[in-house]
Amino acid sequence: MFTVTVFLIVSSLHTACANPCSEFSCDCTDTKVNCNSKSLVDIPADIPNSTTTLTFFGNKISTITADAFKGLAFLTFLLLTENEVSSIAANAFNDVVALEQLSEKYTNRTVTISKNTEMWNEVFREHQNLSPHCNGNLEWDLSMEEKWGSAWRECAKCTQCAYKSKMFNLYEEVASVKRGRRAAKINLGLQVGLHHTPISTASYRKICMASNIPPPSISGMQHTANAISEKIEEENMRDLQRQREKIKRIKKIRGENPDVVNIQSDCVYNNAIYSGIGKTPFQPATQCAYTVAENETYKHSIINTLPKSKLCSKRKHTVSTNVGEHAGPCTANINMQDSIGNEERWARECFEELKEDGLEINEVTTDPDSSAYRAAECLYQEGLTSTTPIHFLDTRHVASNHRKFVNNLSTVCDIMPARLKVQRTRLQSLFASDMAARCQAEFVQANIRYHKSPDVMKSKLSYVSDAIVGCYCGDHTDCSLYSFVCSISRKSQSWIDKSAYLKRHNFEIELNENSENILRQCVNYRLGPGMLAKTAKSANTQKVEALNRSIRSTVPVNVTYARNFTGRVHTACHKVNHGTGNSIVILCEAAGSPIQPVDGRWGSWSTTCSVTCGSGTEYRNIMCDSPSPSEEGIYFIGDAKKLSQCHLGDCPSHIELVNKE
């Protein structure tokens, strides 16, 4: 037994105006009858004939008899949701003028409302034509129902005559000019959604079953996922090209060379490495994605991504077998024996693709340990590009490495202001964090002020270096003159007294030749001319790292999506460029399953009276918010505001108010 709820909108040619509401069990105003939540088992027999709106929400109605709506010629709106309707008399709606829309919702079945409406309209009409005198009930023929992925195919039958409807597809189909059956939109849309999450076939089916929803078959979902994966890849490739063209246009408008672009790039790896430790000497599951984002606009759009996988979906690759050595398509695009960590190689492929679109690389921002810059350099040296590449390092990685450098320097431990080795070691760790933060803070402030003149910045920061050395030794004279973050001479307000790391430790290093040299060594790591040149633009790789996190969240490390890896990387890329919501809408459309626009409908009236007692003016407001229209949906048209008189009873007299006080 399953629950059926019916929602009907019928149109009438008349406007009712009689007084229908005398002596009727339901709530009744004018021509509106409200029978909601009254534990009704049947439709009441005495519904006024002039009723235009009739609601039966939340009752226990199971059967709709032939004369349930007899004589209700003016009915325009009928609501039967949250009931247990299992059969409807074939001629139940004979007196209702013109059936416009009917929707039906099963518990546990995914059904498109408009398709369901079409089905029942057709079933009622067909039955009426074939057996005009039959008094039987029309009901679902459950013996015939078919699941179609997440969607359903259903038909109806008559309880009395031999009428049996044809099968109806209760789902939207993907438009196609090709031959053959059409995919259900919901099945494609589902896969687009799943591509944005780490959930795949098995987990989704568990969710369905936990909710008592019959899930699609395992392989059916997988096949759809594979198809969607390819479509998403195609769409994202087109989108990346559009992003590249956009950058060119922006640079042209700025009056800059549109063929040269500043970039940030990084690689993310998906290795099920831990599964192999101590177990297998050979690790077959190895994937990576190299990504390039532009460093020209605040958006830092991704302009190229390169998924690389050693995983062959046919599982025919070994160390001695190369890509393309077996028949049919292969999801692996690098050989087993190749190094997955060869960032120079991936970067080169990325840059070559950009060059094909007429973009050459100028400033390259990478992690300090990346060899990607060498790719740009090689392309230039080989004469394939004509722009000299410049290498910059990600400032956050530099700060992190700076902390590690100071923390690992044994000489630093010796000058820490503490008596015991244990204390000094602990102080060194805090000092390293503070030193990295201090230098980064000074650098950021200098960059804000002098980013347009690198030479001035370099000169200012050389003074700052002296100030920092003095600062840690308790001398804030230089700080007050040159530091950007410790510019007040009184010690109580110095950087160290505000430091989260050092303020509790009464930190002051004894100044001598040795300690000064060590401190200078520490400061120079970050603010010395070499590192300043590498970080001059204060560029970072945060955008590509955001993509890396997005990829990790959609391709779990311990699941090897051999076939869908590429699709999931492209999904993550599209998501980062457009935002999750927009991305799903765009990708659904690309997959052939566009999300239908939602039209707005009026909500309920809200009233505000201009006075708290006596007579005043009343504004009645109504919002188009039930639901609100989607971006492409339409607003309901009409007056959203009405003006009328309101009366809130007599106001208390002056004497009454005085007595109250």
Partner DNA sequence: CAACGCTTGTCGTTTCGCGC
Partner DNA sequence: GCGCGAAACGACAAGCGTTG
Task: Pick the stretch among 58-66, 180-188, 340-348, 420-428 that binds DNA (CB under 7 A).
Answer: 180-188
Indicate which single residue of 438, 563, 570, 574 sits in contact with DNA (rule: CB under 7 A): 563
Q: Does 441 bind DNA (CB under 7 A)?
A: no
Q: Specify the stretch interacting with DNA by CB under 7 A; choose among 178-186, 302-310, 398-406, 610-618.
A: 178-186
Is residue 610 within the footprint of DNA (CB under 7 A)? no
Burial bucket for residue 311 (CB in 10 Å: 0-12, 13-18, 19+): buried
Q: Which residue's CB is nearer to DNA, number 71 or number 284?
A: 284
Note whether 338 and 310 are within 8 A (CB).
yes
| Pairing label, strands 146-148, 151-154 | antiparallel
Looking at 106-114, 199-207, 378-386, 651-659, which segment touches DNA (CB under 7 A)?
199-207
Residue 313 or 540 having the CB closest to DNA: 313
Which of 165, 187, 370, 540: binder of DNA (CB under 7 A)? 187
Give the whole-angstrom CA distance, residue 227 versus residue 563: 10
Considering only the stretches 142-150, 403-411, 495-503, 521-529, report the one whose residues sit in contact with DNA under the rule CB under 7 A: 142-150
Binding mask 315-334 for DNA (x = CB under 7 A): x------------x--x---
Identify whether the C-beta of residue 90 lies closer than 8 Å to the C-beta of residue 135: yes
Rounded Cα–Cα distance for residues 531 and 392 (Å): 9
Count interface residues toward DNA (CB under 7 A). 53
Query: Which residues share a beta bridge with 9?
Result: 77, 101
Q: Does residue 143 bind DNA (CB under 7 A)?
A: no
Amino acid at 86: S
CA 197, 198, 204, 207 dihedral sign is: negative
Short-list 520, 525, 527, 495, CA closest to 415: 520
Least CB distance from residue 574 to DNA, whole Å? 19
Q: Does position 177 bind DNA by CB under 7 A?
A: yes
Question: Contact with DNA (CB under 7 A): which of 86, 101, 222, 524?
Answer: 222
- Residue 213 as a binder of DNA (CB under 7 A): the answer is no
Kindly tell me which of 179 and 660 has the beta carbon lying closer to DNA. Answer: 179
Q: Using CB under 7 A, which of 70, 105, 223, 299 touches DNA? A: 223
| Number of neighbours of residue 144 by Cβ within 10 angstroms | 15
Whose Cβ is closer to DNA: residue 40's or residue 199's? 199
Distances (CA, A) of 577 to 225, 354, 445: 22, 17, 29
User: Which residue, 12 or 226, has its beta carbon nearer to DNA?
Assistant: 226
216 counts as binding DNA under rule CB under 7 A: yes
Q: What are phi and psi of 640, to 5 degrees?
A: -95, -5
How near is the Cβ of 629 to DNA at its closest, in Å?
30
Q: Is 182 in the site for DNA (CB under 7 A)?
A: yes
- By the rule CB under 7 A, 587 interacts with DNA: no
Residue 223 or 460: the one with the smaller Cβ distance to DNA is: 223
**What is the rounded distance in angstroms from the CA atom of residue 189 to the CA atom of residue 585?**
9
* Chosen residue from 105, 299, 314, 503 binding DNA by CB under 7 A: 314
122-127, long-range: CB < 8 A, 24+ apart: 122/165, 122/168, 123/156, 123/165, 124/90, 124/93, 124/99, 126/163, 126/165, 127/90, 127/158, 127/161, 127/163, 127/165
Single-letter code of the amino acid located at 277: I
- CB closer to DNA out of 187 and 366: 187
From 115, 82, 66, 77, select the one nearest 99 (Cα to Cα): 77
- Compute φ and ψ for 146, nearest 5 degrees: -130, 140
Cβ(365)–Cβ(539) under 8 Å?
yes
Interface residue with DNA, options 68, 75, 88, 225 (CB under 7 A):
225
Phi, psi of 34 (to 5 degrees): -115, 105
Q: Are strands 360-366 and 260-271 parallel, antiparallel or unpaired?
A: parallel
Instruction: Confirm or reject binding of residue 2 to DNA (CB under 7 A).
Output: no
How far the first Cα of the chain sits from its last, in Å, is: 66
User: DSSP assignment of 78-143, as one string?
Assistant: EEE-SS---EEETTTTTTSSEEEEEEEEETT----HHHHHHHHHHHHHHHHHH-TT---EEEE-TT
The smaller minimum CB distance to DNA, of residues 364 and 555, is found at: 555
Helix axes 185-195, 580-590, angle to 10 degrees: 140
| Encoded tokens for 417 | 């202001």
74 part of the interface to DNA, by CB under 7 A: no
Site string (144-173) toward DNA, x via CB under 7 A: ---xxx-----------------x-x----
CA 232 – CA 238 distance, rounded (Å): 10
Task: Give the per-residue contact string, 26-65, with DNA (x = CB under 7 A; - = no).
Answer: ----------------------------------------
Q: How far is the CB of 333 from DNA (least distance, A)?
A: 14
Residue 242 or 315: the one with the smaller Cβ distance to DNA is 315
Q: In the numeric block, which tokens belong to residue 119? A: 């089905």
Shortest separation between residue 66's beta carbon and DNA, angstroms: 32
Supply the angle between the helices 565-578 and 185-195 in degrees, to the nearest 10: 80
CB nearer to DNA: pick between 272 and 546: 272
User: Is 182 or 620 the residue whose CB approaches DNA more closely?
Assistant: 182
Contact call for residue 281 and DNA (CB under 7 A): no
- Amino acid identity of 92? A
- Residue 193 near DNA by CB under 7 A: no
Q: Is position 384 an interface residue for DNA (rule: CB under 7 A)?
A: no
Site for DNA in 520-559 (CB under 7 A): 558-559
Among 285, 306, 469, 485, which residue interacts with DNA (rule: CB under 7 A)?
285
Q: Decide: is 228 part of the binding site for DNA (CB under 7 A).
A: no
- Nearer to DNA by Cβ, of 25 and 217: the residue is 217
One residue of 184, 302, 376, 509 binding DNA per CB under 7 A = 184
- Strand pairing partners for 366? 393
Q: Mask: binding to DNA, 331-370, rule CB under 7 A, as x and -?
A: x---------------------------------------
**309 near DNA (CB under 7 A):** no
Interface region with DNA, contact rule CB under 7 A, candidates 232-240, 250-258, 271-279, 499-507:
271-279
Q: Kindly list the residues in this chain that would bind DNA in the complex (CB under 7 A).
A: 147-149, 167, 169, 174, 176-184, 187, 200-203, 206, 216-227, 272, 274-276, 279-280, 284-285, 313-315, 328, 331, 558-564
